[in-house]
Amino acid sequence: MVHVVLSDLGKGPKGHLQPHLKDWQTVPNALTALRLVAVPGILGTWYLELHGVTAVLFGAAAITDWFDGFLARRWKQQTSLGALLDPLADKLLVSSTLVLLVEHAASPIVSVPAAAILARELGVSTLREWTQTHRPEARAWH
């Protein structure tokens, strides 16, 4: 059972997220964890040729991507664990799905846009990491 922690977690000094022992027990982080768990389910159902189930799992995972951030902000449950896991879950969901589509289509019409999307994901992640390392004041930007 997921326990809702309605603490006033929020931001600490210099905009850093405050750690909390029960980060993993928040609804937003549970939704992010579900998105992580959905990735192997998406891959498995695809290869079992249960494409309808794959589509439902992907759709549900995509909805949790929006919902977890919304709830974290609304309930003031932004956590350092969520800040770590959410982008990881996003990238795993997007990249694994793109790989499936590229493999299935085996066509430049799919491969070229997929490569562009993956390049963008890697570029944004790299830029975000570089900015946070070299420009500490940028931590409050996202």
Position 5 scores a pLDDT of: 44
Residue where the block lists tokens 């750690």: 19
Read out DSSP for 42-104? HHHHHHTT-HHHHHHHHHHHHHHHHHHHHHHHHTT---HHHHHHHHHHHHHHHHHHHHHHHHH
Residue 1 has pLDDT above 80, yes or no: no
Q: Would you list the domain boundaries of the chain?
A: 15-141
Are 29 and 45 within 8 A, CB to CB? Answer: no
CB atoms within 10 A of CB 2: 13
Packed helices 80-105 and 51-74: angle between N→C axes, nearest 10 degrees: 160
pLDDT band at 134 (very low <50, low <70, confident <90, very high): confident
Q: Is 68 helix (H, G, I), strand (E, B) or coil?
A: helix
Contact by Cβ (8 Å): 77, 69: no
Residue (of 80, 27, 132) closest to 35 by Cα position: 27
Percent helix, strand, coil in the chain (nearest 5)?
A: 75, 0, 20
| Count of other CB atoms within 10 angstroms of residue 13 | 6
Q: Is 134 helix (H, G, I), strand (E, B) or coil?
A: helix
Q: What is the pLDDT of residues 45-102, one digit of tens each?
A: 999 999 999 999 999 999 998 999 899 999 988 888 888 899 999 999 999 999 999 9
Mean pLDDT of the chain: 82
End-to-end C-alpha distance for the chain, whole angstroms: 30
Is the per-residue pLDDT at 13 higher than 80? Answer: no
- Residue 34 clears pLDDT 70, i.e. is over it: yes
The pLDDT tens digits for 15-24 are 455 555 466 6
- The per-residue pLDDT for 129 is 78
